[in-house]
Amino acid sequence: MQTAESHTLLVRISIAAAVVTAFLLPLWLHAGWISLITEMLILSIAACGYNLMMGYGGMVSFGPAGQYALGAYTTGVLLVKTNIPFALAMTAGPVCAALLSIVIGWFCVRRTEVYFSLLTLAFAQIVYTVIQKWYGFTGGDDGLVGIRVPEILSGIDKYYFFTVLVALFCLFVMWKMINSPFGKMIQGIRENPRRAEFISLNVKRYQLGIFVTSAFFLGVAGSLYSGFNGSIFPANIDVAKSTDIIVVCLMGGMHHFLGPVLGSIAYILINKIIANYTQYWALVLGIIIIGLVLYAQGGIAGFISERYSALRREA
């Protein structure tokens, strides 16, 4: 018992230390790095949100970029074309992503396995094509530029603090959610949908629930990104965004809550570092991915927790 308590204590202390460091970082770091870390945080929210569905729900979606796009473009369009307050536009993004995902998800959860994946891909592509072609509303290929950010958040440091706060809040809510009865049922359904049905769970309804929740957090990430970037283009929300999010989950470890966070830190770092040395970044990434799938399916978090429990056994 004592070791378990000291273990949770250790985890809590390290999380608290990470949070304090996150707030102090702008004191030491160059603005370029701060913007990089902001990107990491936004990707973390998206990947953690996606992981609710993929890691905890066992539903492999091919189209997280669709929900991300709904959030990003709702916020973007509202801030460029109307005069509504920033906070309202930021909330509208995720809400809109979640509402549309009720409709999309209602169809998707009726399919399983590869058919679920392909259906989510189809919907994400429909969203992408509509955004890319609807010049009058979304700016089409020219994108949406001049997304206004209020005085209080302009400047990379201020936006960074805002992102940290939102990310912490989102992670906290997601953590509570997966440890709630709802979260436990979702994990039960992942392990065995049939048995879950036998104990009279409405499997489809729970899956729709996690689909919409995941869409909400993907939407949050999208909205944050459009504010961060000040502009948004179809290239930010295409299939590559989906694969980014999926790869981040794998790299960090999808069976740990903070896995996707570690994954996004590693992914963006590797991306920036390799891109400095070679134009063959995709080749290196591909080799890393293949290596991960063949030799380290637990990802970074899986590796750390393995080492950690080995250490504890020895002690």
Does position 293 interact with another protein (CB under 8 A)? The reply is yes
Does position 62 interact with another protein (CB under 8 A)? The reply is yes
User: Minimum distance from CB of 43 to another protein (Å)?
Assistant: 17
Cα–Cα distance for residue pair 307/301, rounded to 1 Å: 10
**From residue 172 to residue 201, what is the string marking binding to another protein with x (rule CB under 8 A)?**
--------------------x-xx------
Tell me which DSSP letter residue 81 carries: H
Tell me which DSSP letter residue 155 carries: S
Q: What is the DSSP string of 263-313?
A: HHHHHHHHHHHHHHH-S-HHHHHHHHHHHHHHH-TTHHHHHHHHHHHHHHH
Does position 60 interact with another protein (CB under 8 A)? The reply is yes
Does position 21 interact with another protein (CB under 8 A)? The reply is no
User: Minimum distance from CB of 237 to another protein (Å)?
Assistant: 15
**What SS3 class is residue 253?**
coil
**From residue 130 to residue 169, what is the string marking binding to another protein with x (rule CB under 8 A)?**
x--xx-----------------------------------
Pick 123 or 159: Cβ nearer another protein? 123
Residue 275: count other Cβ atoms within 10 Å of its Cβ.
12
Applying CB under 8 A, which of residues 8, 82, 129, 154 lies at the interface with another protein?
129
| # residues near another protein by CB under 8 A | 44
Cα–Cα distance for residue pair 22/40, rounded to 1 Å: 12
Tell me which DSSP letter residue 120 carries: H
Does position 282 interact with another protein (CB under 8 A)? The reply is yes
Does position 220 interact with another protein (CB under 8 A)? The reply is no
Pick 3 or 279: Cβ nearer another protein? 279
Helices (H), the chain: 2-28, 31-51, 64-81, 86-108, 113-133, 135-138, 156-178, 181-191, 193-198, 203-229, 239-252, 259-277, 281-295, 299-314
Interface with another protein by CB under 8 A: which residues?
A: 54, 60, 62, 107, 110-115, 117-119, 121-123, 125-126, 129-130, 133-134, 192, 194-195, 239, 243, 246-247, 250, 254, 280, 282-283, 285-290, 292-294, 297
